[in-house]
Structure 1
């Protein structure tokens, strides 16, 4: 094929609607981990749309450079589409044919690639009165949802477009409800009750697809968020009865139990799920959280009763080590799971393994795709580690100051502000002329928008350190703002 013909072919490929043109930037994810997750879904999920999983698997195999397996998965996607295509509509093949065209292009089999482009063109001609296809939006949405949180917002938009075309479709309703639910609680966010949209969407999804036990479990969790625990338990019971051996249901059931403080029940359910999916990072993380919570509950109870003995020390150590074991397992299977890094570092601190904690924090800080919520959590927890375990006040201040301006997670922000005020008070208490103590308090006031108080603090800081350029700059900026 001549250079110009190859360039023309590439232009046609770029116009296809498939995984290769959906800008799935997976440079910060592990293709092996995604592959394992997708195979688990093929094993356990009961859905007529497994062809979508095979299509995504084909794309993952392309990322790994395994085009033989990519074609095998596309053949399976084609086969499953044919089996479930009762109304014999060709448009269900559009994404698969587009993926075929790209795979053969990368294999330098340009005639084969062109053949599939022509198939797409022929189907598109037949759809001239129907330029938008719900299945394409829906498949793109499900693919985005299966990858990672950075794609949730785009997945939501795709599900909305699919529902505009097919508002009664159970799959699109379930997907839309799921992604809205995840966005409302993404990275520890607390969605105000008045702004929660997922409750109605999940309720509708359950009505449209009463056999979807996973969506029922998500509805139970949303009801629990809204302190409607009895209603939530009803749906949890239904979900378990419908799918007692489905890991995706069991993990949400366990989460419901953990948040209700039913830690032993949670562990029982999670261990059943783990037998079915032993390499699930999500399951290991949930089990680790259970052991972590049991440990902190045990520690609090012992402290309140002022009891300490060797037996209790052994029990605490068992809980710590169990939590560490499962958090380490998470990172074995999900190397880029930010929350697991923070949780593991926290438990290393409890075990007094401070170098391991330091290494874990450094590892997660090196991630290049951190979103603001994740940065806020990492900086606060790292500052806490530096203050309370490494006794490095200066480093603690640095990371608290990095965290405080990120006003996304309210709990972390309140704790961070409290920590900075505590350090500031301690400095001024030790030395009433401590310029840094007043400047630190000024920083908190400035971040909170309390300009007059911030100016007062920075003026006091300059009184005791009159040549400090940072304090002069902050004071000038604040006065200009007024």
Structure 2
């Protein structure tokens, strides 16, 4: 193939709407875990098979398995023929785009060009414009589902995609479900930043109204009602979802979460064990089991006088076992790392706790709030278990320095402030301690206290430009 025609092909490929042009970066996700999630959804959520096969083909490509990627695109085509025989072109545009890109990467340029033409011809027959996504909201929706599966970093883009799809078809149950799930996920993320609960309530309610048979959405709606303290309504929806699809693992897992948060731990354990029998590889379920056993452990330990120590120890062992299993199956499962480290602390297994924190620091897909949580947890470990105030101060400070407003950052500030004041009162404070306390006061808009701290830091280290600069800026901010 000539250089000119190859460049022309590449230019055509970049115009396609498919996973290869949606900027889905492999460094932002655990590919093995994502592949397992997609496989599970193909098995249990058959209505989304086309979307999942298309995404799975892209994941296979990222894992350098293009032949398997082609096989998954073939499966997507079969699903289209079976479920949408009258809309084959409309429902196949993303699939054909993925075919074109995969053949291009395999250097099978003629086949790539064939699929580019199929997309162009399909669009030409279906629409008088070249604006594919505007004319075909299914493409917006499919992009939204893909973005949603690539994690927190992509949630806002996913929301925009579903909003665009809904502009064309506001009553489409699938588009409303995608939008509701995205808003729920966004809200979960924003709660770590102290945002009010409730943004996803109306989208979830709307999605349930449009498709009362979608028990996945019904279970999420129940959790949202629970967030809003509407416990009886939430439980009604959970029970309705369980009665309609008693063996669907996605409903079982959310039902278990609902019961655990409602302090019905034994009921949650019962549901989780049932779900685990259906999907034994689920990291989510093992993590939830660990959380349930942790609750029971703390509860029984409080009443240790009337509880055999052997029973308390067994709950500790079970919690550790399930958190550990979750990490073995999903090495980048951040929450499981910090939860397991915490239980190692309870077991006084400090070497294992240290090892777990260090593994957590190596996870390369952490959000800002995840990092803040890690610095807070590890700072607490150093402070309360290792009795190292200097290390605790170091890690609390790292958490504070991440400029993402959240209640976790506030906790880092509180812990840091308390520890620094203690050191200073005991006569152990040095210039760095005064400067760090000044930083905390400054972030809390306590400028007078911040200036006082930086003045003491400068008195101890008059040659430190960092302290002098901070003090100068604070004084200027007051005089302006």
TM bin, normalised by shorter chain, reads over 0.9
Q: Deviations over 1:440-470 (max 9, x none)?
A: 4323211211111111223244456656655
Q: Please, which of 237, 240, 247 is the counterpart of residue 238 of structure 1?
A: 240
Q: 1:325 to 1:256 in 2, by over 3 A?
A: same
Instruction: Report the Cα offset of residue 315 of structure 1.
Output: 2.5
Structure 2 CA distance, aligned partners of 1:433 and 1:243? 61
Aligned to 1:448: 444
Aligned to 2:39: 39
Residues 138, 159 of structure 1: 8 Å contact kept: yes
| 2:82 is equivalent to residue 83 of structure 1 | yes
The worse-fitting range, judged by mean Cα deviation, of 166-175 and 465-474 is 465-474
Q: Deviations over 1:84-108 (max 9, x none)?
A: 1154352111001111111222222
Structure 2 CA distance, aligned partners of 1:108 and 1:168? 43
Instruction: Report the Cα offset of residue 32 of structure 1.
Output: 2.2
Instruction: Report the Cα offset of residue 301 of structure 1.
Output: 3.9
Instruction: Report the Cα offset of residue 151 of structure 1.
Output: 1.5
Q: Deviations over 1:139-184 (max 9, x none)?
A: 1111121232221111111111111111111100001001101110
Aligned to 1:51: 50
Instruction: Report the Cα offset of residue 67 of structure 1.
Output: 2.0
Structure 1 CA distance, aligned partners of 2:50 and 2:428? 70
Structure 1 CA distance, aligned partners of 2:376 and 2:279? 33
Q: Please, which of 169, 173, 177 is the counterpart of residue 176 of structure 2?
A: 173
| 2:214 is equivalent to residue 218 of structure 1 | no
Aligned to 1:120: 119
Structure 2 stretches of 5 or more lacking a match?
Answer: none
Residues 369, 408 of structure 2: 8 Å contact kept: no
Q: Please, which of 162, 166, 177 is the counterpart of residue 165 of structure 2?
A: 162
Structure 1 CA distance, aligned partners of 2:295 and 2:404? 24
Structure 1 CA distance, aligned partners of 2:429 and 2:171? 69
Instruction: Report the Cα offset of residue 435 of structure 1.
Output: 5.2
Aligned to 1:297: 299
| 2:133 is equivalent to residue 137 of structure 1 | no
Residues 194, 406 of structure 2: 8 Å contact kept: no
Instruction: Report the Cα offset of residue 423 of structure 1.
Output: 1.4
Aligned to 2:105: 106
Structure 1 CA distance, aligned partners of 2:365 and 2:317? 30
How many pairs were matched up? Answer: 474
Q: Please, which of 185, 188, 193 is the counterpart of residue 185 of structure 1?
A: 188
Instruction: Report the Cα offset of residue 216 of structure 1.
Output: 0.6
Q: Please, which of 248, 251, 271 is the counterpart of residue 250 of structure 2?
A: 248
Q: Please, which of 352, 366, 369 is the counterpart of residue 348 of structure 2?
A: 352
What is the RMSD of the two structures over their aligned residues, measured on CA atoms?
2.2
Aligned to 2:384: 388
The worse-fitting range, judged by mean Cα deviation, of 161-170 and 23-32 is 23-32
Residues 28, 151 of structure 2: 8 Å contact kept: no
Structure 1 CA distance, aligned partners of 2:293 and 2:107? 53
What SS is found at the alignment partner of 1:367?
Answer: coil
Q: Give TM-score, length-normalised by structure 2.
A: 0.93
What SS is found at the alignment partner of 2:397?
Answer: helix
Q: 1:430 to 1:140 in 2, by over 3 A?
A: same
Aligned to 2:323: 327
Q: Give TM-score, length-normalised by structure 1.
A: 0.92
Matching of residues 314-463 of structure 1 within 5 Å? 314-406=310-402, 408=404, 410-431=406-427, 438-463=434-459
Residues 184, 191 of structure 1: 8 Å contact kept: no
Instruction: Report the Cα offset of residue 388 of structure 1.
Output: 1.0
Instruction: Report the Cα offset of residue 185 of structure 1.
Output: 1.0
Structure 2 CA distance, aligned partners of 1:371 and 1:284? 22
Q: Deviations over 1:28-64 (max 9, x none)?
A: 43322222111111111141x3111111111111112
Structure 1 CA distance, aligned partners of 2:226 and 2:261? 9
